[in-house]
Structure 1
């Protein structure tokens, strides 16, 4: 089994790339969804830890208000570090179990879709790192539209992550997602063929 770590900064279009890979036959692990599941699926200990660190106003109807939590975490570097220290160990355990399950199923290609691939040290689990890139201005505009947040909030979210230049330096492959969709698809097909012919 080959494992691709698909990363890139927030609103770079990783989901669109992972969708193309899924259609080609890859299994995709969306680490953002795993994070949401850990917060939502009756993880009382997680809720207690987050409430203790971020306050009761974060909890509504015994669930975490992710929008409120996000606005705090992305505007305060220490808050983001604290949130990651709660979430990343649990997400890592789930990722390891998912990788084991896919090995047993004899999955050929597994994609780990994670914005914080490097920050969480998940790159150690993958064979290839693909970094998805778009210009900073595109990220900010997409975030404002998608999350219905202010420009200032969007900039804070973009700036809260490791710089894209640092990610590109560590990448095996860089996908420029500011190009037209057909050019992006063609690049992915070529990469896919190179990987699958070696399995």
Structure 2
């Protein structure tokens, strides 16, 4: 028998690195909207004791494991953004596990009777996580802003910051796949006003089948 339990629509929120996805999520949260961040889930599946961390250690040895047993995420990032084959290997072991845990979060949101929920993911399209959502909201900023913010936030040089940006889906393709676009190169007041506008639109959106 089909499951007829009402569910909350899910908005997938994505954007390039340093586009402001977390800031947008927090703005929606202040309006009472629950959300889950795929980056947080990715950290969970790489925690000590998780099979993902064991596979990473088997591939690279102990050099990526810190004294407390946790993953040296910065060292891993340097490897995978410098080598597409290594990046694809990492994605092959992480994406299925991340998606499974995200599905668990989304099922939990259905029970909270929220008007809708957000799935925040930098790799929403690349990982196939857009199949879990009803609409896709892209947070957009110029690539020059991404490079500047990434270099400052992650304490890396401009070349590495640009390599990280260029390793992701192109801005043009991301925008072409968006249902909604939020430009995040203005003031905080501009951002909050746009979030309020989208919030009203999403509250009036009926539950729809997930993307196929």
1:12 to 5, 16, 19: 19
> Deviations 1:3-25 (Å, cap 9, x if unpaired)?
11000000111111111001111
Choose from 110, 125, 131 the match for 1:124. Answer: 131
Aligned runs of 1:41-56 on 2, under 5 Å? Answer: 41-43=48-50, 45-56=51-62
Q: Please report how far the alpha carbon of residue 56 of structure 1 lies from its aligned counterpart in structure 2 after TM superposition.
A: 2.4
State the alpha-carbon separation in 1 of the partners of residues 143 and 190 from structure 2. 20
**Relative to total residues, which structure has the larger helix share, 1 or 2?**
1
Q: Which runs of 5+ in 1 are unaligned?
A: none
Partner Cα distance (1:198, 1:46) in 2: 37
1:41, CA displacement in angstroms? Answer: 4.8
Q: Secondary structure at the match of 2:30?
A: helix
- After TM superposition, the score normalised by the length of structure 2 is 0.89
Aligned partner of 2:198 among 165, 174, 191: 191
> 2:3 maps to what in 1?
none
- Alignment: residue pair count: 198
Q: Quick check: 2:48–2:70 contact (8 Å CA) kept in 1?
A: no
Residues 45 and 53, structure 2, Cα contact 8 Å, conserved in 1? no
Unpaired runs of 5+ in structure 2?
1-7, 207-212
Structure with bigger strand share is: 1
CA distance in 2, matches of 1:18, 1:67: 24
Note the aligned Cα RMSD (angstroms): 1.2
TM-score (norm 1): 0.95
Does 2:58 match 1:23? no
Q: Does 1:148 align with 2:133?
A: no
Q: Which residue of 2 aligns with 1:139?
A: 146
Q: Distance in 2 between matches of 1:82 and 1:54?
A: 12
TM-superposed deviation, 1:181: 2.0
Given that residues 38 and 98 in structure 2 are in contact (C-alpha distance below 8 angstroms), is that contact kept between their aligned partners in structure 1? yes
